[in-house]
Chains A and B, each alone.
Chain A
Amino acid sequence: MTASIGLIILTEKDIVRIVRIIWPLFLAAVLIWLLSCEGGLEPPVIEDEPYGVILGTVTYSGQWPPQDSLNDLRFVPLKSVPAAFTDIIMDFQNLSFSDRLAYYTDSDEFFVDEVENGRYIYNVIAHRYGTAFEWRPVGVYSDNGGEIIVSGDTTTIHIHVDFDNLPPFPPE
């Protein structure tokens, strides 16, 4: 009996020989493969001080928006520059932000605890003017090139908001 696949013609003996050679090789390969794979999921490595605190003051100038469009106002530090505000919302699970800031005031203070250690390059006072997804930046932190480096300690910053001269968004 022979089996032909294309131009290759195999006799029964060939097939048995192939099977005899392949079996142990195959089993050995599977065993090596199994032993070489890692144990799968692991808990993430937790640093001794994985979080820091951002403490800040905000000052305001210009004409405040009307009451019916002042739905929320918070300080939000971000590790990347968003292309659209939905990018920020979509990363909601990883966001840190301050409590709601006071309206119609000249200045206010805020703090954000449990800010994950890292380099924050876009740090804004965010204003929700409509639905849950309608936000815009009204003030951007600009000292130190706009960067905040959180490394388990407390960082103090200052931001100014000029309602008559809002920062561009997306940032230029």
Chain B
Amino acid sequence: MRKKIAQIFLSVFLIFIYSADYLAAQEQHGTIEGIIKNESGETLPGVHVSITALQSGATTNSDGFFRLRNITSGEHILRFSMVGFQTITEAISLEPGETAWLDIELNPVTLQAGELVVTASRRSQLIGQVSVSMNIISPEELRSRNVTSLDQALDYVPGVQVLGNSVNVRGSSGFAYGVGSRVLLLVDGVPLMGPDQGGMDFDGLPLMQTRQIEVLKSPGSALYGGGALGGVINLITRDFPDEPETTIRLFGGAYEPVRFDVWRQSWEGAADYRANRGVQFGRSEQLTERWGYWVSGKIQDDSGYLQNNRSKGLELYSKVGWEISGDKNLSLYSGIRRNRNQQFLYWNGLSDPLRPGEILLTGDSASGANQGLSDRLTLLPVFTHNISPDIQYALKGRVFGVAFRPIDREGNIRPSDRHNVGFRYGGEAQVNYRVSDELILTGGATFDENYVRSDVFVGEDSLMVRNQPEGSLFVQGEYSWNNRLTTTAGFRYDAYRVHTLDTATQFSPKFSASYMISDHLTARTSFGKGFRVPSVAERFFNNRDFFPLESNLALRPETSTGYEAGLTWQGPVQNRFSLKAEFTGFWNNYRRLVEPAFQPQTSAFQFVNLTEARIRGAEISAAVSTIDQDHHLSTSYTLLDPRDMEENRSLAYRSRHLVQVSGRSILRPWMEAGADFRYASAPEQVDTDFSFFVNDAEVFPSVYVADARVRFQDTNPLRGKGMSVTLMVKNLFDYYYVERPAIFAPPRSYHIVMEVIF
């Protein structure tokens, strides 16, 4: 009891002491006020002024004026910051009762030049120093558009067009029935292409934990080898934040029924609003000084807007980082995904586009839809060691496994001999060596093995197991001749097995240069060779269940030679805007291009080295933001001349004109609105062979798609780091087009996204 009374007295005494101290301090306070202007003398509203040590701060008003009251007298460091301007600090000595006045000038920064990229040279560099065409997709863009898969993210990248599961960078890919890709997908610099079809998986990626997506739009084989023939997409995962962060995002929506009765009549589901919904979640944290992690996941159920097009999926990703010592780091990225998908392969014609069709061919019947269970596993361990400030090396491993189990019409999993299993595993070692201030060398070696077991990859040799090992050496040197001129030269030497015992080699050199004409204007030029080894599916696929396809064991790698030159202007305009404008001309020659073609002898399609081609064109893009980044407008136009040089006609499934326009504005602190528009002209040439068997498969109209969204956000720190609700309409004008040949693209759909970050 005595002890308790003593505690109460002690508490009262301490409160008294602190209160007295507080009152005394009140008498020792002063005020700091002032005006903040830019270098032209214009006042700047919205500048954050803070004294970190006191956790005190204010924001300038519309006249650029700020006032900090009740500031303890003494020495203080003030910090002035605003997006688009260099942050500065100012020391001040405040006397008791004094009102101190400050005149502050902030200088603008060039925003885009500050973005770091890693894809162009396999090392971090400012995007302004990159000598090849490159775009960045920021996490803000992903969040703003509620991007849940990679194809949605790529829709508004200048010069990029997604046709079904083929990514076209400046017309590189066309459409190849989902197998093979002339654009390489990387996660943190590690290739993540399917071991069987060699295609991209748009869904199996940790978009919630993405720092940025880099899109390299010229041949990247000199650094990344086969597959980077047309370009590279590199998803960079985020680091671990100092403050723990948890994000929960719920999304749901519905596809609007199509407006034509005749389409609705053939499938009863077409008359209803078809729902899609899901939840994404993520947690990231720096646990200790040495350990950090993030996890994220997605559960999704999309009933689809076509018959037999439902998909359900669960994805989980994690990354764990361990700072072994000050100069050694180890991280492990892992991902698992399970999907139960119905796959709509081709329609029943333009009079019945919402239902799958059938191919009747000399007694064989192929169905335009299938379904199955798909599992994926990804493991990417990375070890980095900074031997000295100038030498760093990295060891990266990769395991990427896929399994597909088809499901029959009754919903049962088919026997195990019908299952497909594929693994891609390998590793690489890379060294970055800063030889001098002028010269940086990058080199390394890679090894990868593909293993695929499938009943549909049976070639003339009747084997069911396929291996496709490949290895490479690469080296690159960057030399800065002075502050303005930088040149890069390098090559990669690849060896790969193309047949049972045959090994082929490929030499891919590159050269590029950038010259800074002025502080804001940069000229660049590049040359590079690329190649792509046909995927296991292109060589060995042999099946008629869904489409008559024959294997071709004699298929040879395709190669490309690309040239590019461009001008980039980036910088502030009148201290009000940040502008980036770019003009690029490009010329790519392709040899032995692998394309599907109908073979009358076998009455089936086959991938063959069809032709020589040339794709040349020009691209112009501009992005303008207000300096506070509240308003942003970007637009791009790409002109393509894709030519089949042997047939002297346009290459199939390439649009001649691509236009993209995006805008977003923070209209109120709590409201942001945005809209996107993309146009792709109808391809001059389509695969007429395909249209012989599938009704109206040659129909491929121009694409005019507009999306719009409005986002309401509450960023009150008392209620957490942020809450937001986004309302979106995709395909606002309900324009009907095809996603890829003989597949109807999504009609207008409505979405709501609720997100909480705490």
Contact = CB atoms under 8 A, between A and B. Distances in A.
Interface of A: 1, 3-5, 12-13, 15-16, 19, 23, 26, 30, 33-34, 37, 39-44, 46, 86, 89-93, 131-133
B635 A26 contact: yes
B139 to A, nearest CB: 27
A40 B735 contact: yes
B63 interface: no
Contacts of B694: 93
Interface residues of B, number: 48
A43 B603 contact: no
Contacts of A19: 573, 577, 579, 624
Contact of B353 (A5, A16, A23, A41): A41
B744 A39 contact: no
Contacts of B567: 5
Interface of B: 260, 262-263, 350-351, 353, 360-362, 518, 520-521, 567, 569, 571, 573-574, 576-577, 579, 598, 600-601, 603, 624, 633, 635, 661, 677, 679, 689, 691-695, 699, 701-702, 704, 706, 733-738, 744
22 contacts: A1-B571, A3-B518, A12-B573, A12-B574, A15-B574, A16-B576, A19-B573, A33-B679, A33-B704, A40-B701, A41-B350, A41-B701, A41-B736, A41-B737, A43-B263, A44-B350, A44-B351, A46-B351, A90-B692, A92-B693, A93-B694, A133-B601
Contacts, number: 89
Contacts of B521: 3-5
Nearest to B598: A90
Given A3-B569, A4-B518, A86-B600, A37 B702 contact: yes
A43 B351 contact: yes
Contacts of A4: 518, 521
Contacts of B263: 43
Nearest to A128: B362
Given A37-B704, A133-B601, A43 B350 contact: yes
A166 B149 CA distance: 61
Chain B, interface SS category? mixed
B618 to A, nearest CB: 15
B573 A16 contact: yes
Nearest to A86: B600
Contact of A41 (B360, B518, B633, B738): B738
Nearest to B700: A41
Contact of B362 (A15, A46, A132): A132
A39 B351 contact: no
Given A43-B260, A133-B603, A34 B704 contact: yes
Contacts of A86: 600
A40 B680 CA distance: 13
B677 A34 contact: yes
Nearest to B744: A41
Nearest to B361: A92
A137 B353 CA distance: 35
Given A4-B518, A15-B579, A16-B573, A40 B736 contact: yes
A150 B603 CA distance: 30
Contacts of B635: 26
- 6 smallest A-B Cβ distances: which pairs? A40-B736, A41-B736, A132-B362, A90-B692, A40-B735, A43-B262
Contacts of A44: 350-351
Contacts of A37: 702, 704, 735
A44 B695 CA distance: 12
B574 A41 contact: no
Most chain B Cβ neighbours within 10 Å, of A23, A39, A40: A40
Contacts of B702: 37
